[in-house]
Amino acid sequence: MACKQETSHKKLMLIDVDCGTDDAQAIMMAIISPNVKILGITCVGGNTQLDNVCKNVLRILKLCDCLEEIPVFRGSPTAILGQNINATDFHGVDGLGDVPDANAPGLEYLQKEHAVDAMIRLVSENPGKISLVATGPLTNLALAVRMDPTFPKKLYSLYIMGGNMESRGNTSACGEFNFLADPEAAYIVLNDYLCTTYIATWEFSCRHKLSWEWYDEWVNMGTKKSDFIKKIYAHSLQYSRSEKEQKALVDGPGFVPCDSFAMAAAIDGDIVTKVIECAVTVELYGKYARGMMVLDLIDDLKKTHKAFVMNGCDMEKFKALLESTIR
């Protein structure tokens, strides 16, 4: 199906990614959604190095026949303090399972404008209308508010995949990858972005995992896109389907498409059936707790702005979105 970006009266969306396998799925979900118009995709170092992130996004856009319609911008290659981590052991060195495509588009397709400049420009041109979906480290978002303190006020809403709600980590004892990759950026965003904010945490994603039986049917539908998903996930599934990894998940085994939860919520708010409304922040210090998201349930932070931490999901609607993505 060709990319259809021309229709008016759609939800306007910016997507900020560190494009690994689950980011790829989330981008494909947004592209196929008839009520969404993607104004741009900004890239940040995270799951893999920044050049790979950019190449991966371009590769997905070509797969979805959107290479000419959706601009892609190169953002920050490192965390604010430059102390980078990556997830190449899980996503593959290139971020997409180390299954290269000789015909994939090159970096010449990137826009010349820096990602942070593009974010500020696009939101200023469409004040109060854009939903920003962030599925990687929050470095670009933190830089945007430092360059333009009015930036968050011009957003319609913000959807984040990252952090945790019960101090369960997937990269350190208490740290979820996206927040641990740049804790200072996550702290800035949760403090300075006062727009409507939804957060899909690690534990939320785990508790709404899909069965492996469903996954096997999903990736074996015989379409170009299902074949692509099956190919890029093959590397990570060596880990995620292993007995050790499945025991480490919250509430038992299954397929956990983390980034797709934040994207699905941005596309259809009815997918979120329950939230915890509270102030949130990020721990910046400590041997074990650096990068951990903190939910202030007793008003200790005295913050007036409360985030919506996702805590319930309409799984039938969520599965329908995932299934539509690979047709």
CB atoms within 10 A of CB 276: 18
18 catalytic per annotation:
yes
Tokens (6 digits) for 258: 């983390």
Task: Give the span between the Cα atoms of 207 and 102, in whole angstroms.
Answer: 38
Task: Give the span between the Cα atoms of 234 and 244, in whole angstroms.
Answer: 17
For 51, the 3-state DSSP assignment is helix
CB atoms within 10 A of CB 256: 20
Of the residues 16, 18, 23, 94, only one is catalytic, namely 18
Q: Which residues, listed in sequence order, are joined to residue 12 by a DSSP beta bridge?
A: 37, 130
Tokens (6 digits) for 304: 């007036």
Q: Which residues, listed in sequence order, are joined to residue 17 by a DSSP beta bridge?
A: 43
Give the count of alpha carbons within 13 A of 255, CB side only. Answer: 22
The gap from C-alpha 116 to its chain's centroid, in whole angstroms, comes to 17
Task: Give the span between the Cα atoms of 78 and 75, in whole angstroms.
Answer: 9
Instruction: Give Cα separations from 204 to 33, 109, 166, 237, 251 (angstroms).
Output: 23, 36, 10, 20, 10
- Active-site residues, by number, are 18
